[in-house]
Chain A
């Protein structure tokens, strides 16, 4: 069950406007979202993630392609015929109704009997810990509480898929952290597929089972948070998620499992598979925390001079100018056994942890 496909987006394009003003919001996007999955659409604003969400919700219809829910095409259905609910970015709670009326709205629109509505509303209020405020008006509760009501309202009709459009962006840092945990808990408890839209990479990494990184109307990479972080497929993904050093290297040897690179320093290093790249000069990405600094300049994979040191408590960040002229950022933990007393102007060598060099597609 947990591996069957819930939402399948098949070569969907969405265009707005006509002729010369035409804007392509989504460009032949295909993705499969599994049952009971916490799936995140991650990307900068304008990347098409909200458009994709609105297509799944039914507020927009695709210009091309199809969307399936459990193998049934839903692309042509209006929102009120889809067993899919949305938590809106600004919550969109009905101001003329109480908290419990808001939560019961979906059920009463489905013509459920009043006793069942009451029972479900009470259950939802308990689930989001809002029992005490059930008869309040929605403008009399705080932002965090409104967030909970919006969640309960969308969950009450037991949708097969819950869509969340940057629901935490309006909350302050502390509340946001709390709600991240809460959301994850709700997803596990209800077993509903969550599709979560955010531009916050940290939020995406903490909460998701899988992430789709989007840019300019296309999905660049889909994978687990680990996958996306450790093995970004292209420069945009590596750059958008976390900090990355971008260097160029020469591809010497390439098999389906691994490849051999010749670095600018003349040293060789092994890396993951090069994928579809056939060029001899490739771009590589190295995470700052994968660097091991050493005084043994001669045998190290890279060598350079420290230009700046930033101390930030748990770790220190070193800005290093490589011999090739490229800039390299290394992040070293300040625990007892790692040396951190590198000074500005000092020459040093850099080794990269095995398997940490990622060859990029572009």
Chain B
């Protein structure tokens, strides 16, 4: 028996090895593209972050750690004393805070929307999804200016409130953190709705009935049955909203009025007026690490909830 099977298994092994080789060969174009498009620019950035800024932008090929040091530290130009760069810390903190708040707001608004679409008859779901994607047809900048028009001091909202005699003076909404969050929520909401919908569509609504049948009230069915089951969608949507929010620069620039900077603006500044490319590169990579840390946290969270059931 074993004499019969062993040559066969060797043959099989050889075939498998061959297959693996072929697979790698077939993957090569994709790997080359991946390397050039994803890792290449990152390596250039990493390289630039250790160089000296040129006087008129660009870099001089001279090793320097100033770029990295300036991410969180500030060197006084008169007495060379190092101190924490409060402005940068504030911008990091604002970016993370606003991105988190945007993510949570998108989740709160996106959840019922996705649930609504997922519970429509199959034929009409595509129509609703189509409506969700319509904003993508208009340029981001134009949409952002439209929000500006809505919330500015003499804008639609304030005028309406004054006409209704609810307020005497216009409320300052534009150029605040609220405005930035509103803009980002509006822009990234579809990115939350779509993955949420995708996981809700697969949800077996029989499980919700089973929950009700077993004495769970509506709120408990939501907490104990629906949310755990669509967790992958919640995580995917949160990542899709949080990451671009963290790096956003058009929305904070227009709606934040240039005084409420976010990380994206700070980075843009270094490559533009600031003429400090190494610092910009270092800030970009720092942003990348924040995103990776956030992702790791998410992934770990998912794994933990998986382990509980094993």
Given known contacts A94-B225, A98-B309, A106-B215, is B220 in contact with A59 (CB within 8 Å)? no
Q: Is the CB of B210 within 8 A of A88?
A: yes
Interchain CB contact (< 8 A) of A109 among B204, B206, B216, B228: B216
**A-B pairs with CB below 8 Å: how many?**
65
Query: In the complex, which residues of chain B have a beta carbon less than 8 angstroms from the beta carbon of A154?
Result: 213-214
**Distance of A93 Cα from B229 Cα, bound (Å):** 12
Query: In the complex, which residues of chain B have a beta carbon less than 8 angstroms from the beta carbon of A86?
Result: 209-210, 213
What residue in chain B is nearest A96 (Cβ atoms)? B228
Within A16-75, which residues are at the interface with B (CB < 8 Å)? 57-59
Interchain CB contact (< 8 A) of A94 among B207, B212, B217, B310: B207
Instruction: Say yes or no: is A110 at the interface (Cβ < 8 Å to chain B).
Output: yes
**Distance of A90 Cα from B210 Cα, bound (Å):** 11
**Distance of A136 Cα from B50 Cα, bound (Å):** 53
What residue in chain A is nearest B204 (Cβ atoms)? A92
Instruction: Say yes or no: is A130 at the interface (Cβ < 8 Å to chain B).
Output: no
Q: Is the CB of A92 within 8 A of B209?
A: yes
Closest-CB distance, B210 to chain A (whole angstroms) = 4
Instruction: Encode A81-97 as 1/0 by CB contact (under 8 A) with B.
Output: 00011101010111111
Instruction: Say yes or no: is A78 at the interface (Cβ < 8 Å to chain B).
Output: yes
Q: Is the CB of A137 within 8 A of B309?
A: yes
What residue in chain A is nearest B216 (Cβ atoms)? A109
Q: Is the CB of A79 within 8 A of B309?
A: no
Query: In the complex, which residues of chain B have a beta carbon less than 8 angstroms from the beta carbon of A106?
Result: 214-215
Closest-CB distance, B194 to chain A (whole angstroms) = 22
Q: Is the CB of A80 within 8 A of B216?
A: yes
What residue in chain B is nearest A104 (Cβ atoms)? B214
Q: Is the CB of A59 within 8 A of B209?
A: yes
Within A179-236, which residues are at the interface with B (CB < 8 Å)? none
**Distance of A93 Cα from B225 Cα, bound (Å):** 11
Q: Is the CB of B310 within 8 A of A137?
A: yes
What residue in chain A is nearest B217 (Cβ atoms)? A80
Q: Is the CB of B206 within 8 A of A88?
A: yes
Closest-CB distance, B159 to chain A (whole angstroms) = 43
Query: In the complex, which residues of chain A have a beta carbon less than 8 angstroms from the beta carbon of B207?
Result: 92, 94-95
**Distance of A59 Cα from B217 Cα, bound (Å):** 13
Given known contacts A96-B228, A96-B309, A109-B220, is B215 in contact with A80 (CB within 8 Å)? yes
Instruction: Say yes or no: is A105 at the interface (Cβ < 8 Å to chain B).
Output: yes
**Distance of A58 Cα from B212 Cα, bound (Å):** 9
Instruction: Encode B210-254 as 1/0 by CB contact (under 8 A) with A.
Output: 111111110010001100110000000000000000000000000
**Distance of A174 Cα from B211 Cα, bound (Å):** 31
Q: Is the CB of A78 within 8 A of B212?
A: yes
Q: Is the CB of A94 within 8 A of B220?
A: no
Instruction: Say yes or no: is A287 at the interface (Cβ < 8 Å to chain B).
Output: no
Interchain CB contact (< 8 A) of B213 among A79, A98, A110, A137: A79
Instruction: Encode B265-282 as 1/0 by CB contact (under 8 A) with A.
Output: 000000000000000000
**Distance of A86 Cα from B216 Cα, bound (Å):** 14
What residue in chain B is nearest A150 (Cβ atoms)? B210
**Distance of A97 Cα from B305 Cα, bound (Å):** 11
Given known contacts A137-B309, A137-B310, is B212 in contact with A59 (CB within 8 Å)? yes
Interchain CB contact (< 8 A) of A88 among B209, B225, B310: B209
Instruction: Say yes or no: is A157 at the interface (Cβ < 8 Å to chain B).
Output: yes
Query: In the complex, which residues of chain B have a beta carbon less than 8 angstroms from the beta carbon of A331?
Result: none
**Distance of A97 Cα from B308 Cα, bound (Å):** 9
**Distance of A172 Cα from B206 Cα, bound (Å):** 22
Instruction: Say yes or no: is A153 at the interface (Cβ < 8 Å to chain B).
Output: yes
Within A150-174, which residues are at the interface with B (CB < 8 Å)? 153-154, 157
Q: Is the CB of B206 within 8 A of A90?
A: yes
**Distance of A84 Cα from B215 Cα, bound (Å):** 9
Query: In the complex, which residues of chain A have a beta carbon less than 8 angstroms from the beta carbon of B309?
Result: 96-98, 137
Q: Point out residues on A near B: beta carbons under 8 Å.
A: 57-59, 78-80, 84-86, 88, 90, 92-98, 105-106, 109-110, 137, 153-154, 157
Q: Top 7 A-B pairs ranked by shortest CB distance?
A: A106-B214, A92-B210, A109-B215, A79-B212, A92-B206, A109-B216, A96-B228
Q: List 21 A-B contacts (CB under 8 A).
A: A57-B213, A59-B209, A79-B209, A80-B212, A88-B206, A92-B204, A92-B210, A93-B210, A94-B207, A94-B211, A97-B309, A105-B214, A105-B224, A109-B214, A109-B220, A109-B224, A137-B310, A153-B214, A154-B213, A154-B214, A157-B214
Q: Point out residues on B near A: beta carbons under 8 Å.
A: 204, 206-207, 209-217, 220, 224-225, 228-229, 309-310
